[in-house]
Structure 1
């Protein structure tokens, strides 16, 4: 079945008993895993119990397609429902998923975790059309949704955040739900119960891992430092950053450049334009940001924003090599920046 947005939270808390299988998919791998774990724990308390949980991989099904159906049909030796989990699912496992849904015996819950899937994906269509299955999308946290995640996580630790700190965190988090929660928990433990996180707290403690890596990539691209951008991209991919999160981080940086450039086009000086940015620009990156404003005319910033948006759309297409698309786009922008810098008149 295809769940409506207002049905998802209730489904996660208590999946209907008639549902035999759930597909959880989307570009936010951390959110996919978080939702998967929450649903799994409605069936099995200890997710590491080998008698109650069967963890499979696409490689298992490649060698033995009926394995998932056999696991779904198996009866628990210790009582209760069993759980069957498959991570890294793609359209290739669709026939095996059909076998699992067709199992006549057993009452196991099958959970498939997948990356971004287009509407025409065979696997997604199967789970959206089957009455005993459900599909749950997990999109990257942003805007009001990310704001809610931040407030909810901090509230659990009895911690508040100032408006500036909240705005900073909305800008620097959201690429991966697990990383977002980890960064917020670190901040909450530092502030302590009943405390209030300030902008300075957030700047010092939030985003020193993946978010900092994303910031460094964005700065290298906008600076026109092709070698650094390539090195940081490869390191980020190796550390688990996904292509869409990287593109969105660079997009946010270019949006801030465009906003400042728009203020300048309206008559503000560069300093005045930067002072109007919210959340405020971190002092350590201000020199580089000011140089980027000189290197990127507003017309080229508009083109860069279009290229980044188009690259994200391509990355969401089934079968597209998303890391390659993101890399080509970002290194292309870095090259454009380096050319623009060499053509810029002396000041």
Structure 2
């Protein structure tokens, strides 16, 4: 059964009602996190060798045998299969049709949209098929809030907005950064923007911020160096595109306010989150350098970049680097 995103958490919280789970999509970290959540409901210890069997690609041939075997110590067994592709479909269907209550958990990050296995499992009522795609926008904000709430850590609005804009679309990295912030947090006070930037400011987020700020200010050498640092730290092309969008929209917000009569300082005070001191000079240079029309054109081009980076086989890193270089040229690079 194909599970809609709005029902995902409900299904995951009632894992014992299902015979199987198929987690597919582009976010490997989210696939693993959801698989671990299911495993925790089936067995107290996911490393229990009597009740948990993990099958990698070389062990796929044992799927049917393991899925129908009885536990030596009682309780339901978990058959955890990784690197799943269509070739296991026949043995999977036989295992699910067998007389057993063992739960089969499939991690299938590379499963194609037209996959026979995915299509077959979506037709079954006892298997939950759940897509795990990178979270962004509102869904990312909700995910962050859920993580912090679970740890009883409060985060103020500006800090949450900044986090949502700079974290990459990778659940494993997001979880790692959130756990770092949870350890840093004081029980009596919410995490502020300064707290958050202090904790993760020297990661790829700072490099991306420096790259986009330098590019908009026309500092080509700084932008090139910063984007290479970000890529070396693991920044994905889509994350680069989103960082560009975020930077452009902030400059555009100030330009719009100035076009309506506000002074530069008044327009800047309206930014949420506030301007980070490390990039303040570059930001002000960008505001003087760009006009609203050119910023809108650059925003549109950046959206096109993100879409291009999501296409299979696209030279995404080359496209991202070229876009940073184009931003360095300024408004004339986006004129009609």
Give the direction of change, closer, same or farther, for the CA distance of 1:171–1:39 in structure 2 (3 Å limit): same
Report the Cα offset of residue 37 of structure 1: 0.6
Q: Does 1:334 align with 2:333?
A: no
In structure 1, the residue matched to 2:254 is: 260
Q: Would you say the 8 A contact 1:157–1:193 is kept in 2?
A: no
Q: What value does the CA root-mean-square deviation take over the aligned residues?
A: 3.3
Q: Would you say the 8 A contact 1:296–1:337 is kept in 2?
A: no
Report the Cα offset of residue 314 of structure 1: 4.2
- How many Å separate the matches in 2 of 1:26 and 1:72? 24
Give the direction of change, closer, same or farther, for the CA distance of 1:46–1:297 in structure 2 (3 Å limit): same
Map Cα deviations across residues 97-149 of structure 1 (whole Å, 9 max, x no partner). Answer: 44213223544322233448675455543432333322212343344433333
Q: Does 1:23 align with 2:22?
A: yes
Name the SS of the counterpart of 2:125 in structure 1: coil
Name the SS of the counterpart of 1:255 in structure 2: helix
1:245 to 205, 227, 239: 239
Report the Cα offset of residue 53 of structure 1: 2.6
In structure 2, the residue matched to 1:102 is: 94
Map Cα deviations across residues 71-107 of structure 1 (whole Å, 9 max, x no partner). Answer: 3334333332222333444xxx113144213223544
In structure 1, the residue matched to 2:270 is: 276
Give the direction of change, closer, same or farther, for the CA distance of 1:116–1:336 in structure 2 (3 Å limit): farther
In structure 1, the residue matched to 2:146 is: 152
Structure-to-structure mapping, 1:191-202, within 5 angstroms:
191-202=185-196
Report the Cα offset of residue 243 of structure 1: 4.1
- How many Å separate the matches in 2 of 1:198 and 1:175? 22
Give the direction of change, closer, same or farther, for the CA distance of 1:206–1:230 in structure 2 (3 Å limit): closer
| TM-score (ref. length: structure 1) | 0.78
| TM-score (ref. length: structure 2) | 0.80
- How many Å separate the matches in 1 of 2:213 and 2:83? 32
When structure 1 is superposed on structure 2, of 127-136 and 176-185 the one drifting more is 176-185
For these two proteins, the number of residue pairs brought into alignment is 328
- How many Å separate the matches in 1 of 2:47 and 2:182? 29
1:179 to 173, 183, 197: 173
Name the SS of the counterpart of 2:53 in structure 1: strand
In structure 1, the residue matched to 2:5 is: 5
1:288 to 267, 276, 282: 282
Gaps of 5+ in 1: none
In structure 1, the residue matched to 2:81 is: 86
Give the direction of change, closer, same or farther, for the CA distance of 1:292–1:127 in structure 2 (3 Å limit): farther
In structure 2, the residue matched to 1:228 is: 225
Name the SS of the counterpart of 1:47 in structure 2: coil
Gaps of 5+ in 2: none
Q: Does 1:72 align with 2:64?
A: no
When structure 1 is superposed on structure 2, of 31-40 and 255-264 the one drifting more is 255-264
Report the Cα offset of residue 270 of structure 1: 4.4
